[in-house]
Amino acid sequence: MELDDVNTIAVLGAGNMGHGIAEVAALSGYEVNIRDIKEEFVQNGYEQIEWSLNKLEEKEQIGEGEADATLDRVTPLVDVGEAVGDADVVIEAVPEKMDIKKDVYQEVEEHAPDEAIFATNTSSLSITELSEVTERSGQFCGMHFFNPPVRMQLVEVISGAHSDEETLDVIEGLAEEFGKTPVRVHKDSPGFIVNRILVPLMNEACWLVHEGEATIAEVDSTTKYDIGLPMGSFELGDQVGNDVSYHVLEYMHEELGDAYEPCPLLAEKVENDELGKKTGKGFYDYEDGDGADVP
Ligand code: 3HC
């Protein structure tokens, strides 16, 4: 498969990352099938794409009429066969759990064309292990976007132990077609590069608050105004989703040891479904769950 052969992209999972990736792909002119397991999930993802495209058009970041034209290239689906049957590239962005992702790949393998490339947006899990549940471990790699995909420049392109060069080249080229900057990650280790650094930072911020050393406001004002990061640690946690950070840490804890033990404060947020912007409440409260109101 060459980059020029890519016309249709299937995005599996219509959550925060899935709908953002689908939007980016459609903005670049690709036909996009976005799929989730329930009609309400896929509909919600589709509406988030519409909201975001309208916002971009209002701000003249895209041309007049481009929001509708882009949306026309997005097909929301529940049937997995329909979603991947004509796909050249399948980008998977389902929940960050090894078992869930493996089940998805087994199902997708039955329906996707033999030449289709599988790219996982996993935040931390082993690309090699995921690829081994398919019959195409050479045509399999990581394509890790950052939240919100429409705004973040970086894409990590991660090589699993079996990924072939041709596949990595196509996915790197695709990231460039999306207007992103791909960075090749040669080692398939937990959290890859960015999350190996960023997620422990967010976890450490939780430990500071959990142990009564600082308040959320103090931590966030120092990260934002002193270190110079664009968001405070807790704002960022709410942006990426507290469940995502928690699952990444659980995996890193299992694979890399106690330094990555998830803080109970984070676990509590997940138990209470206070996942951040997407549920309207996380470390901060949001007026509505659409991600528009950063405190
Ligand atoms: N589409 C369109 N517009 C959007 C949007 C979207 N998806 N998301 C937010 N906006 C809008 C907001 O509604 C707001 O609109 P308003 O001005 O009308 O109220 C506006 O964008 C805010 O944009 P600004 O440029 O004014 O705001 P910032 O300069 O603060 O930039 C940001 C926002 C780019 C998100 C910036 O805060 C940032 O870079 N934050 C860090 C994000 C980050 O690090 N992400 C990576 C996390 S790690 C990860 O994702 C990996 C995973 O595996 C865990």
> Same domain for 99 and 179?
yes
Q: Does residue 244 have a pLDDT over 60? A: yes
CA of 150 from ligand 1 middle (Å) equals: 8
> Same domain for 108 and 247?
no
CA of 219 from ligand 1 middle (Å) equals: 20
Tell me whether residue 293 is in a domain.
no
> Same domain for 70 and 204?
no
Q: Is 272 a catalytic residue?
A: no
CATH code of 121's domain: 3.40.50.720
293 pLDDT tier (thresholds 50, 70, 90): very low
Q: Does residue 247 have a pLDDT over 70? A: yes
Residue nearest to atom 53 of ligand 1 (CA): 123
Beta pairing, strands 154-158 & 140-144: antiparallel
Q: Are 6 and 174 in contact (CB under 8 A)?
A: yes
- State the total domains in the chain: 2
Tell me whether residue 63 is in a domain.
yes
Which amino acid, residue 203? N
User: What's the per-residue H, E or C state across 100-124?
Assistant: HHHHHHHHHHHHCCCCCEEEECCCC
Q: Which of 23, 121, 144, 250 is flagged as catalytic?
A: 144
Tell me whether residue 290 is in a domain.
no
Q: Which atom of ligand 1 is nearest to the CA of 96?
A: 53
Residue nearest to atom 51 of ligand 1 (CA): 146
Q: Does residue 98 have a pLDDT over 70? A: yes
Tell me whether residue 294 is in a domain.
no
Of 25-34, 130-139, 280-289, the one with minimum mean pLDDT is 280-289
CA of 151 from ligand 1 middle (Å) equals: 6
Q: 68-86: per-residue pLDDT in tens?
A: 999 999 999 999 999 999 9
What range does the domain containing 93 cover?
Answer: 3-185
Residue nearest to atom 9 of ligand 1 (CA): 292
287 pLDDT tier (thresholds 50, 70, 90): confident
Tell me whether residue 13 is in a domain.
yes
pLDDT at position 228 is 85
* Pocket lining for ligand 1, CB < 6 angstroms: 52, 55-56, 123, 146-148, 150-152, 195, 198, 230-231, 236, 239-240, 244, 291-292
Q: Is 186 a catalytic residue?
A: no
Tell me whether residue 140 is in a domain.
yes
> Same domain for 201 and 244?
yes
CA of 243 from ligand 1 middle (Å) equals: 19
Residue where one domain finishes, among candidates 185, 212, 239: 185
> Same domain for 86 and 174?
yes
CA of 168 from ligand 1 middle (Å) equals: 28
> Same domain for 47 and 145?
yes
Tell me whether residue 295 is in a domain.
no
Residues 120-127: what's their mean pLDDT? 98
Alpha carbons 67 and 120: distance in angstroms, whole number: 27
> Same domain for 78 and 122?
yes
The pLDDT mean for the chain works out to: 95
Q: Which atom of ligand 1 is nearest to the CA of 241?
A: 54
pLDDT at position 288 is 59
CA of 77 from ligand 1 middle (Å) equals: 27
> Same domain for 220 and 107?
no
pTM over 0.80: yes
CATH code of 199's domain: 1.10.1040.10
Write phi, then psi, for 255 (nearest 5 degrees).
-90, -30
Q: Which of 123, 124, 131, 163 is flagged as catalytic?
A: 123
What is the length of the chain?
Answer: 295
Q: Which atom of ligand 1 is nearest to the CA of 150?
A: 7
pLDDT at position 36 is 98
> Same domain for 267 and 200?
yes
Q: 40-76: per-residue pLDDT in tens?
A: 999 999 999 999 999 999 999 999 999 999 999 999 9
> Same domain for 199 and 179?
no
pLDDT at position 292 is 36
DSSP per residue over the chain, as a string?
Answer: --GGG--EEEEE--SHHHHHHHHHHHHTT-EEEEE-SSHHHHHHHHHHHHHHHHHHHHTTSS-TTHHHHHHHTEEEES-HHHHHTT-SEEEE---S-HHHHHHHHHHHHHHS-TT-EEEE--SSS-HHHHHTTSS-GGGEEEEE--SSTTT--EEEEE--TT--HHHHHHHHHHHHHTT-EEEEE-S--TTTTHHHHHHHHHHHHHHHHHTTSS-HHHHHHIIIIII--SS-HHHHHHHH-HHHHHHHHHHHHHHH-GGGPPPHHHHHHHHTT--BGGGTBSSSB-SSTTS----
Residue where one domain finishes, among candidates 167, 185, 203: 185
> Same domain for 94 and 145?
yes
Q: Does residue 132 have a pLDDT over 90? A: yes
Q: Is 247 a catalytic residue?
A: no
Q: Quote ipTM for the complex.
A: 0.93
Tell me whether residue 145 is in a domain.
yes
Quick check: bond before 148 cis, omega within 30? yes
Q: Is 131 a catalytic residue?
A: no
Q: Are 90 and 84 in contact (CB under 8 A)?
A: yes
